[in-house]
Amino acid sequence: MNYTPQGRCLLWPIWSVNLGAEATVSTVAFPFFAVLATLLMSASDSSVLIRVGHSPDPDDAFMFHALANDKINTGRYRFTHELQDIETLNRRALKGELELTAVSLHGYAYVTDKYALCSCGASMGDNYGPMVVTRAPCSIGDLKGKTIAVPGTLTTAFLALKLLLGDSFKYEVHPFDEILNIVAAGKADAGLIIHEGQLTYGNQGLHLVVDLGCWWHDETGLPLPLGGNAIRRDLGATAMREVTALLKQSIQYGLDHRVEALKHAEQYGRDLDHERTDKFVGMYVNDWTIDFGERGRQAVALLLDRAYQAKIIPNPVQLEFI
């Protein structure tokens, strides 16, 4: 059987040699599909996997909505998402496990050799932030000698508490979403609360002792930089910039499509109704999240410098923003 015109049209872009009159569709079709499969596999192999770690809370869900739900073109990058509490992510960052990860600014002090900070993705407490709550009203001075339930020793909340109280308190580490119940049950004298607990502690009759974001603002005039996103250095400079740009695009998408992104975020709002989810997201996804800005960078530098001066972190931190 002679090689058909249809076959020639199919194969000509790949083979430019004279196949001769005896060539048949069956003898050339197999090589074509083999080459096509190879090309497709090669294209697949050229994609870059970016494992993303972030907290299962409304503000992170809002930020990552576009990346998690294929709302933007990510080009050669393929994103997978791993949702874990921030202290677990801080610990994983010590081992460099994820290419892109949410990280506490306190935790970041220990991983600067492995990660740079993304210039976007910040969670800033602008005259608000983590809180210490108790069952009965008391003062900051009353916390000395007391046992405080904390969400992790690498959280920025814990760092701020250490800057406020020094070593004058005892602490126990508990999952962040259990601390309100632990305090309400009398299993700890006080609780250091983060995330949506800042809006819901009153539901359990607990009392605010200190808002660490307010305290920091009174001390410095700056917002309290709680968390950011860190990108692994071994991706190389180009990929670090490109992935950070995609993260910024995802954040901007959420801000531009607020109703849609908020609907996605609401599934992570423990004990938050729509109104309070909206409020919480607004607290931590805003202009600071698009870019730290000059004041944000100043706040990070000052926080980590004070941590070093107080001997809470072992080394001074040279900041690099991507």
In the chain the domains, ranked by start, together with CATH numbers, are: 5-45 (no CATH), 49-125+227-309 (3.40.190.10), 131-220 (3.40.190.10)
Coil, helix or strand for 252?
helix
pTM, 2 dp: 0.84
Q: Give the pLDDT confidence score for residue 306 in this predicted structure.
A: 98
Q: What are 133's strand-pairing partners?
A: 191, 208
Q: Give the pLDDT confidence score for residue 270 in this predicted structure.
A: 80
Asked if 40 and 19 touch (Cβ cutoff 8 Å), the reply is no
- Residues in the chain where the model's pLDDT stays below 50: 1-30, 34-44
Q: Give the pLDDT confidence score for residue 272 in this predicted structure.
A: 86
Core vs surface per residue 13-37: b (16+ CB within 10 A) or e: eeeeeeeeeebebeebeeebeeeee
First to last CA, the chain: 62
Asked if 119 and 178 touch (Cβ cutoff 8 Å), the reply is no
Q: What are 104's strand-pairing partners?
A: 227
Give the C-alpha distances (Å, rounded to integers) separating 7 from 12, 21, 22.
8, 13, 13
How far is Cα 294 from Cα 128, in angstroms, rounded to an integer? 19
Q: Give the pLDDT confidence score for residue 239 in this predicted structure.
A: 97
Q: Give the pLDDT confidence score for residue 271 in this predicted structure.
A: 81
Residues constituting the chain:
322
Query: What are the φ/ψ torsions at residue 206 (nearest 5 degrees)?
Result: -85, 160
Residues taking part in catalysis: 195
Which residues, 6 or more positions from 264, have their beta carbon under 8 angstroms from its beta carbon?
A: 61, 62, 65, 68, 69
Core vs surface per residue 236-258: b (16+ CB within 10 A) or e: eeebbebbbebbbbbbebbbeee
Asked if 172 and 265 touch (Cβ cutoff 8 Å), the reply is no
Q: Which two tokens stand for residue 256?
A: 């531009």
| Burial zone of 9 (CB within 10 Å; 0-12 exposed, 13-18 middle, 19+ buried) | exposed
Pseudo-torsion of CA 237, 243, 244, 245, nearest 10°? 110
How many CB atoms sit inside 10 A of residue 311's CB?
8
Q: Give the pLDDT confidence score for residue 42 in this predicted structure.
A: 45
